[in-house]
């Protein structure tokens, strides 16, 4: 039976193809193993003593097996090529919904229609095919969320395009799938699929400027953030900090996890990170500023106050 390509998501196409491969390979394996076992018993020495009859082979059998193997290979080449074509059906002038850039070791995310920018916060509306533009800021990374679409490399100086699709709301996990250095294993992906309404609310919130809590520790932290040159790498939308060398921290407090989904976002973990980044995520580009306890209090209050 040939696959029904119409009205099928990319994930289903790839799933179907792998099922065809598994069924074909298992059938061939079962036939070969079955015949070996059958003839082992049928011609065992106790029943057939002495030298067995010597055979020279059969042209008929050889030709027919060659034809069967060629046809099977051709069928699977056809199925593979058509699947690749369907899965990577990128329009001529692609208008990607979002652009994701891989960095050592986090994801920069731009929502192209709205202009929202986040780090590691990949939210998508359900029931809609989402076109991603994939880039890299340094080395080759690879974007792969198994339940939403195929894997695609992110190559420096190049833009690749990938379709993903989520039918139901939920959290979909993935990971960077190309070795990219020390923290490759901690370059995780979490895609949050939301109903179009929830997605719009989330995105609108991301577009809001950061509101000061008015708390004195928050204000002290804000001042330190600027004074200690955190702003040279980290942007916070609505302030004068626009650098995108490190993760954009706008609305950091609204994030459940940080460090590319490595740690839960709570005061304790943020403090440990600021206190000694190399201890938490060895190799990360974040320098150790050797903050005092008071400075840590203020910075944590500021960063976890960016609601
Ligand atoms: Cu990025 Cu591996």
Cβ(261) to ligand 1 under 6 A? no
Annotate 286-303 with DSSP letters as a single string. -------HHHHHHHHHHH
Instruction: Evaluate the CA torsion angle 151, 156, 161, 163 in order and state its sign.
Output: positive
Q: What is the reported pLDDT for 239?
A: 66
Report d(CA 71, CA 60) in Å as an integer.
Answer: 17
Residue 254 per-residue DSSP state: G
Can you read off the two tokens belonging to residue 16?
A: 């179907």
Helix residue ranges, H only, the chain: 10-42, 59-87, 196-207, 216-227, 267-275, 277-280, 293-303
> For the whole prediction, is pTM greater than 0.85?
no
Ligand 1 atom 1, closest CA: 141
Long-range contact pairs involving 20-23 (C-beta distance under 8 Å, separation at least 24): 20/76, 20/79, 21/76
Inter-residue contact 207 to 238 (CB < 8 Å): no
Residues of the chain with confidence (pLDDT) below 50: 1-6
Ligand 1 centroid to Cα of residue 270, in Å, is 23
Cβ(187) to ligand 1 under 6 A? yes
Cβ(164) to ligand 1 under 6 A? no
Q: What is the reported pLDDT for 8?
A: 67
Inter-residue contact 183 to 105 (CB < 8 Å): yes
Cβ(174) to ligand 1 under 6 A? no
95-130, pLDDT tens digit by residue? 999 999 999 999 999 999 988 888 899 999 998 899
Q: What is the reported pLDDT for 251?
A: 87
Inter-residue contact 193 to 169 (CB < 8 Å): yes
């Amino acid at each position: 039976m040939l696959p029904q390509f119409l009205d099928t998501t990319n994930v289903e196409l790839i799933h179907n193809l792998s099922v065809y491969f598994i069924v074909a390979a298992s059938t061939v394996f079962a036939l070969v193993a079955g015949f070996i076992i059958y003839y082992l018993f049928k011609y065992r020495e106790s029943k057939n003593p002495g030298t067995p009859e010597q055979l020279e082979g059969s042209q008929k059998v050889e030709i027919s097996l060659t034809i069967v193997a060629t046809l099977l290979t051709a069928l699977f080449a056809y199925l593979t090529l058509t699947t690749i074509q369907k899965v990577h059906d990128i329009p001529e002038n692609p208008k990607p919904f979002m652009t994701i850039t891989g960095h050592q070791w986090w994801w920069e995310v731009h929502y192209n229609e709205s202009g929202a920018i986040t780090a590691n916060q990949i939210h998508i509306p359900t029931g809609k095919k989402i076109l991603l533009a994939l880039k890299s800021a340094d080395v080759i990374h690879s974007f792969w969320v198994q339940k939403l679409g195929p894997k695609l490399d992110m190559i420096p100086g190049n833009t690749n395009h990938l379709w993903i699709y989520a039918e139901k709301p939920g959290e979909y996990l993935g990971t960077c799938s190309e070795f990219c250095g020390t923290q490759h294993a901690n370059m995780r992906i979490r895609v949050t699929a939301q109903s179009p309404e929830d997605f719009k609310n989330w995105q609108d919130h991301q577009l809001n400027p950061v509101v000061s809590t008015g708390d004195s520790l928050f204000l002290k932290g804000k001042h330190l953030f600027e004074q200690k040159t955190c702003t040279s790498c980290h942007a916070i939308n609505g302030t004068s900090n626009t650098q995108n060398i490190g993760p954009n921290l706008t609305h950091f407090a609204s994030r459940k996890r940080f460090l590319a989904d490595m740690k839960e976002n709570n005061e304790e973990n943020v403090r440990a990170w600021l206190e000694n980044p190399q201890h938490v995520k060895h190799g990360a580009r974040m320098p150790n500023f050797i903050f005092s306890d008071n400075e840590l209090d203020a910075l944590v209050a500021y960063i976890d106050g960016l609601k």
